[in-house]
Structure 1
Amino acid sequence: MNKDIGGKVKELRTAKKMTLKDLGEHTGLSTGFLSQLERGLTSIATDSLAKIAEALGVDLSYFFIGHARNRNYIMRSYEKEVFQIINGRFIHYHLTNNSTEKTILPRLIELLPINCDEDISQYAHEGEEFVYVLEGTLTLFINNEQFELFPGDSAHYNSSHVHNWANYTNKMVRLIVASAPNPFKE
């Protein structure tokens, strides 16, 4: 990937008729470092790449576009974006590039803590869900029963059973959830 980014930097720089020295003056990066970057011999921090993007007049995402399109079955960690925030507590990230084309919807969900006195309403919907706890203690409700799940624990259930999740701890809970059918499939 370093060669891909470096190649794009060089291509833009030469198209704008900038020298390495010109780019270095605009970004505060040394010409030696920029030369190594363009040849794929070094990696670059995101904030430094953002300076280069600004100097070259492109959005930071320009350096990453193409990877997802060429291999739409791979999502790199830097491509993951917040998809949805529900009730200010559930932060959803889709773990697929093509969520509208797939039958299963894989997500990373971060649950922020809530007050133990809050009532958790359970709901049902079509399909099934698989939950895998990465971090923290998840409280899972299924058919009015309460279960505590710890890192490495998982649950797989029919979504027609009333269910919901909660985080009654003082730390964030992170979990992987796979839902079928995918509610975003076209």
Structure 2
Amino acid sequence: MTEDVGKKIKELRTNKNLTLKELSTKTNLSIGFLSQLERGLTAVAIDSLNNIAKALDVNLSYFINEANHNKKIILRSYEKEVFQVENNQFIHYHLTNDIENKNLLPRLIEILPTSSKEPLTSYQHKGEEFVYVLEGILTLLINNEQQELFPGDSAHYDSNLVHNWANYTSKTVKLLTVHTPNMFKKETED
């Protein structure tokens, strides 16, 4: 993180044609400290980084978000949190730390048992879906046809087909699903 922050500071400073001495004056931080920071040789306190951000006319988040971006590769099993509970039946867990910056939407979904008498609403939208059954028996509805998927079975389909999932058994179904497009992705300006 320190090296990334330092590179960003140096890049902004040189693009603004500021010397280390001028940045030092604006931030009340020593030239030596700023030089070490730019080379990734020292850490910086958040209040000092905030002063640097102000002096370089950027938000503090410019440094923090960029630095944290590199840390979001791995999500440990104990870090997973319930993202959404839908209709008291579908429990959604996101399987990424960086959901807003990725094209794919990987999720673990648990579907609680339900009665087969309940009507099922089907969906249709842009994109693709991949489903892999981890536990239980999943009922997959595609274009009003029902298929049962067992552990180890998978399905990959265009989301513009009318579709949905159901659990008509007495045990919880767990599945891994990957969707595109990722509805949580932030739009970037090109």
Q: Which TM-score band (shorter chain)?
A: 0.5 to 0.7
Distance in 1 of aligned mates of 2:98 and 2:71: 11
What are the within-5 Å matches in structure 2 for residues 9-158 of structure 1?
A: 71-158=71-158
Structure 1 residue runs of 4 or more that deviate by more than 3 Å after TM superposition:
none
How far 1:137 moved relative to its partner?
Answer: 0.1
Partners in 2 of 1:126 and 1:169 — Cα distance?
30
Rounded Cα–Cα distance in structure 2 between residues aligned with 1:163 and 1:123 = 5
- Partner of 2:101, secondary structure, is coil
Please say if 1:181 is aligned against 2:177.
no
Query: TM-score, normalized by length of structure 1?
Result: 0.62
| 1:121 CA drift (Å) | 1.4
CA displacement 1:82-111 (0-9 Å, x = unmatched): 000000000000000011110000000000
Larger radius of gyration: 2
1:30 is matched with none
Distance 1:75 1:146 in 2: 34
Q: Separation in 1 of the partners of 2:79 and 2:104?
A: 19
State the percentage of identical aligned residues.
64
For structure 1, the residue ranges without an aligned partner over 5 or more in a row are: 1-67
Once residues 151 and 178 of structure 1 are traced to their aligned partners in structure 2, the CA distance between those partners, rounded to angstroms, is 17
Separation in 1, partners of 2:102, 2:148: 30
Mind listing any 5+ residue stretches in structure 2 that lack a counterpart? 1-67
TM superposition score normalised by structure 2: 0.61
Partner SS, residue 134 of structure 2: strand
* 2:113–2:170 contact (8 Å) kept in structure 1: yes
DSSP-derived class of the 1:100 partner = helix
Over residues 126-183 of structure 1, what are the superposed CA-to-partner deviations in whole Å (9 max), with x where a residue is unaligned? Answer: 1000000000000000011100000000000000000000000000000000000001
Q: Shift of the alpha carbon at 1:71?
A: 2.6
Q: 1:141 is aligned with what amino acid? A: L
1:69: Cα distance to partner?
Answer: 6.6
Measured in 2, the distance between the counterparts of 1:116 and 1:92 equals 21
